[in-house]
Amino acid sequence: MKRFILNFIGFIILVGLNACTDIYDPLVDTECEKRENIGVPHLPYPSYPSPYQDPSWSSDGKSIVFYRMKVTRISGAGSFFIDYDSTGIWMINADGSDMRLILKGSGYRSPDLSPDGKWLAFKFGGQIYNAPFVNGQIDTTGFVQLTSVGSNHYPAWSHDGEWIAYARSVCEGTRTCGVWIINSNGERNRFIADYGMYPTWHPFKKEILYNRRVVTEGGKVLGDSLWVFNVESNENMRFFFLTDENYDNRHMTYSLDGEKIAFSSQPEECPIQIWTINSDGTNLKQLTHEGASSEPSWSPDGRIVYVHYVSGKLDVNSGTLWVMDGDGGNQRQLTFNHGLILDP
């Protein structure tokens, strides 16, 4: 198994204002040796739903917040039924106990608890919101809408609780799509990088890691270029490039010691898997082999929560939360689809 990480500094040329991933980089070496794909090949459609999505570990390591779509029945043809009264943002203890609904509603996604555990940022209707988290529940009377234009995704708190980073995927007028940061009450909104996606904060620096898709002038995807933005110096720096047919890399997130980065990646014709790489761009490693989805999230003690999922597999255990060590060992199922009826 081989994969190349090309380190370089170069200029980028934007070749399209309406497609946020339309970036051309003439310095990318396209003559790369292809690596062997590890994983179960994609099964044909239908694509079954993933009941659990968007897990995020709390900063104290005691709990995990996530989106749960309570699916009650799935047919072999791909249709499914949802219990909307049990759908929304949920929380579970790190040991798998006391799973509870904290915010009901199918539109609430990508939850992220503030470092002090007192606020929850999330996405709703393409906008970023913040809400008080009091006594284990969301105070729905205290919602704060942070954004109002574009389509916004992936809110992520800075380690000091001052900023929330997010990605805007729709360019409207002078509002540029890409990575932004906003403070917790929405009074300060700052543009960071055009065409960036999946922002995540360094655990103890005022730096944001984000991803930019690289394509040729003809539209061929070459890979993903990872960048770091320093909030204090206002500088962007590209520090490595992920190439090969395994080009669809998403949801990068630092371990809390800053030494590793976990992310999801999809080799061509294979399921999404969870990978890690050292923060200096070395030691690329695939951790899952059966399939995964959604962004991984690190605990303070170096474990990773992720969604075990294979798109075309009718399996009661698919689309559930799992936890593993930072090296991929001790993979353990955390949530279950109890009562889910499968109709082959």
Choose from 110-124, 203-217, 233-247, 262-276 the range with maximum mean pLDDT: 110-124
Write the DSSP string, 245-267: S--EEEEEEE-TTSSEEEEEEE-
Q: CA distances (Å), 176 to each of 3, 150, 308, in order?
A: 33, 9, 34
Which residues lie across from 134 on neighbouring strands?
Answer: 137
102-160 per-position pLDDT tens digit: 999 999 999 999 999 999 999 999 999 999 999 888 999 999 999 998 899 999 999 99
pLDDT for the residue numbered 276? 94
Whole-angstrom Cα Rg for the chain? 19
Residue 30 has pLDDT above 80, yes or no: no
220-241 per-position pLDDT tens digit: 777 788 899 999 999 988 877 8
Whether the CB-CB separation of 324 and 303 falls below 8 Å is answered with: yes
Whether the CB-CB separation of 4 and 224 falls below 8 Å is answered with: no
For residue 279, how many other CB atoms are within 10 A of its CB? 17
Residue with tokens 């700052």: 190
Q: What's the pTM?
A: 0.85
143-151, Cβ contacts within 8 angstroms, sequence gap of 24 or more: 144/184, 144/185, 144/186, 145/186, 146/121, 146/182, 146/184, 146/186, 146/189, 147/182, 147/186, 147/189, 149/175, 150/126, 150/175, 150/177, 151/126
Whether the CB-CB separation of 199 and 165 falls below 8 Å is answered with: yes
| Confidence tier at 175 by pLDDT (50, 70, 90) | low
What residues make up the domain containing 53?
Answer: 5-343
288-310 per-position pLDDT tens digit: 998 998 789 999 999 999 999 98
The DSSP element (H or E) to which 304 belongs, if any, is strand 303-308
CATH of the domain at 93: 2.120.10.30
Residue 315 or residue 326, greater confidence:
326
Write the DSSP string, 139-202: -GGG-EE---SS-EEEEEE-TTSSEEEEEE---BTTB--EEEEEETTSS-EEEEEET-EEEEE-
Residue 249 has pLDDT above 90, yes or no: no
Domain count, the chain: 1
